Amino acid sequence: MSIASSNTSVRVPAGFRNLLEGLAREVLREQPTNVVAFAAQHFQKLLEEREAGGIDPVAWGAMLED
């Protein structure tokens, strides 16, 4: 099955790259046996920190990318 090529450019949302790099660093550091569960816990922790008034990792990553 072939996929037609397109001239459409997909933009990565601001801060997304930094967010995924942070996850990758933690996965490499922790070496979890269940990466999907680890990622879910990682993002839940980031969400809880953001809701508690801490730093928003997406906003922070967007600033770093600019």
Give a yes or no: residue 56 inside a domain: yes
Q: What is the pLDDT of residue 27?
A: 97
Q: Domains in the chain: how many in total?
A: 1
Give a yes or no: residue 51 inside a domain: yes
Give a yes or no: residue 60 inside a domain: yes
Give a yes or no: residue 19 inside a domain: no
Give a yes or no: residue 10 inside a domain: no
pTM for the structure as a whole: 0.70
Give a yes or no: residue 5 inside a domain: no
Give a yes or no: residue 3 inside a domain: no
Q: Which residues contact 18 (CB under 8 A, 6 or more apart)?
A: 57, 58, 60, 61, 62, 64, 65
Tell me the per-residue pLDDT of 20-50, one tens digit each, with 9 for 90 and over. Answer: 999 999 999 999 999 999 999 999 998 888 8
Domain residue limits at 44: 35-65
